[in-house]
């Protein structure tokens, strides 16, 4: 689905929220590399007047929302900071969508796919993934609960492109937000196949989606699934042959976290139809993450 452009002839200018975040920072670098004019918003998402002031001053052609509360060091923070989580993830995101809609602007919203979990109709290892129109079935964490709630409401805004990101990975293996960096530092890891998002490949696609004025929900992951152990085997093969790790079960993991975590496969067919060059998760991991960082003598 596309949104009528409010200025097809106008040169692109992006307004980005989330300057201090990982995705927001990467978006700015991509705009620079592509010579796209951009500015970061200074307004708070939950303050309508500050968003209106940003748009009036910057006059963007498209708006990107990479701001939001994920919790530090992880989503367990949201369990004890529920009002703060609602303020940004629900009230703020909806306010931004509404302000953009009033001005005929497409909002590209980086959301989450951690609103599903494997179930009888989408069993682990079956290859059957959740589609864009499926109803979220995971509300184990308050973070996921707010994200599912806001996704449902945003679906009523014809100007919003919702990108369901999962377990984001980039080629920057020093970044503590990187899923690979996280699991190499954990004392123990579970081993469950999941859909994941390779930012090096998918963030440029999100810019192209804005240029095409695409709207609606997209599972924003590379096709297929990869497990924790498969990633750590690649890490061992390409980066550190002496690396070792220990696994534990979901039941054991539950004892050391406050809120349960989402595990699922998302069906990336819709995104792949729009971008046929999209690599599978394992191909993208090797090409975009492990080969550029390779420290071993592997051919």
Give the three-class secondary structure for 29: helix
Lowest mean pLDDT segment, chosen from 79-88, 160-169, 197-206, 231-240 = 79-88
Question: How far is residue 150's CA from residue 86's CA, in Å, rounded to a whole number?
Answer: 10
pLDDT of residue 6: 52
pTM of the model: 0.94
Q: For the residues 261-275, what does the mean pLDDT come to?
A: 96
Nearest residue to 68 (alpha-carbon basis) of 52, 85, 53, 83: 85
Give the three-class secondary structure for 16: strand
Alpha-carbon torsion angle 208, 216, 284, 20, nearest 10: 70
Q: Are 290 and 296 in contact (CB under 8 A)?
A: no
Question: How far is residue 143's CA from residue 75's CA, in Å, rounded to a whole number?
Answer: 6
Secondary structure element (H or E) that encloses residue 62, with its range: strand 62-65
Domains and their CATH numbers in the chain: 11-289 (3.40.50.720)
Question: How far is residue 218's CA from residue 166's CA, in Å, rounded to a whole number?
Answer: 12
Q: Residue 91 carries which DSSP code?
A: I
Q: Are 67 and 110 in contact (CB under 8 A)?
A: no
Alpha-carbon torsion angle 255, 21, 114, 165, nearest 10: -140
Residue 22 structure tokens: 């990982």
Question: How far is residue 271's CA from residue 217's CA, in Å, rounded to a whole number?
Answer: 10
Integer angstrom CA distances of residue 177 from 139, 169, 184, 218: 22, 8, 12, 22
pLDDT of residue 254: 74
Work out the percent of the chain whose per-residue pLDDT is above 70. 96
pLDDT of residue 72: 74
Residue 131 structure tokens: 């589609």
Residue 93, pLDDT > 70, answer: yes
Residue 232 structure tokens: 């750590």
Peptide bond into 77 cis (omega under 30): no
Q: Are 50 and 43 in contact (CB under 8 A)?
A: yes
pLDDT of residue 69: 75
Residue 190, pLDDT > 60, answer: yes
pLDDT digits (tens, 9 = 90+) for 45-74: 999 999 999 999 999 999 999 998 777 777
Secondary structure element (H or E) that encloses residue 37, with its range: strand 37-40
Q: Which residue(s) pair with 193 in the sheet?
A: none
CA dihedral sign, ordered 75, 125, 272, 101: negative
Mean of all residue pLDDT scores within the chain: 93
The pLDDT-based confidence of 44 (bands split at 50, 70, 90) is very high
Residue 126, pLDDT > 70, answer: yes
Residue 251, pLDDT > 90, answer: no
Q: For the residues 94-112, what does the mean pLDDT come to?
A: 98
The pLDDT-based confidence of 298 (bands split at 50, 70, 90) is low
Residue 8, pLDDT > 60, answer: no
pLDDT of residue 256: 79
């Amino acid at each position: 689905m596309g949104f009528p452009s409010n200025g097809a002839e106008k040169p692109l200018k992006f307004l980005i929220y989330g300057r201090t975040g990982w995705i927001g920072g990467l978006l700015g670098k991509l705009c620079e590399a592509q010579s796209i004019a951009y500015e970061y918003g200074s307004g708070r998402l939950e303050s309508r007047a500050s968003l209106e002031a940003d748009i009036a001053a910057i006059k963007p052609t498209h708006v990107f929302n990479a701001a939001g509360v994920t919790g530090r060091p992880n989503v367990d923070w949201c369990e004890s900071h529920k009002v703060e989580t609602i303020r940004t993830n629900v009230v703020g995101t909806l306010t931004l969508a509404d302000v953009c809609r009033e001005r005929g602007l497409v909002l590209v919203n980086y959301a989450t796919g951690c609103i599903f979990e494997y179930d009888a109709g989408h069993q682990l290892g079956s290859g059957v993934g959740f589609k864009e129109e499926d109803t979220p079935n995971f509300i184990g964490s308050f973070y996921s609960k707010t994200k599912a709630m806001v996704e449902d409401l945003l679906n009523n805004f014809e100007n919003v492109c919702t990108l369901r990101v999962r377990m984001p990975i980039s080629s920057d293996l020093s970044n503590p937000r990187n899923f690979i960096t996280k699991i190499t530092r954990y004392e123990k890891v579970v081993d469950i196949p999941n859909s994941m998002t390779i930012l090096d490949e998918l963030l440029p696609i999100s810019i192209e989606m804005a240029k095409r004025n695409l709207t609606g929900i997209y599972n924003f992951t590379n096709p297929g699934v990869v497990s924790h152990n498969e990633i750590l085997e690649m890490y061992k093969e390409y980066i550190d042959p002496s690396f070792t790790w220990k696994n534990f079960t979901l039941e054991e993991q539950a004892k050391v976290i406050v809120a349960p975590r989402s595990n699922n496969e998302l069906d990336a067919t819709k995104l792949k139809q729009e971008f046929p060059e999209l690599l599978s998760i394992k191909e993208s991991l090797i090409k975009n993450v492990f080969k550029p960082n390779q420290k071993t003598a592997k051919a």
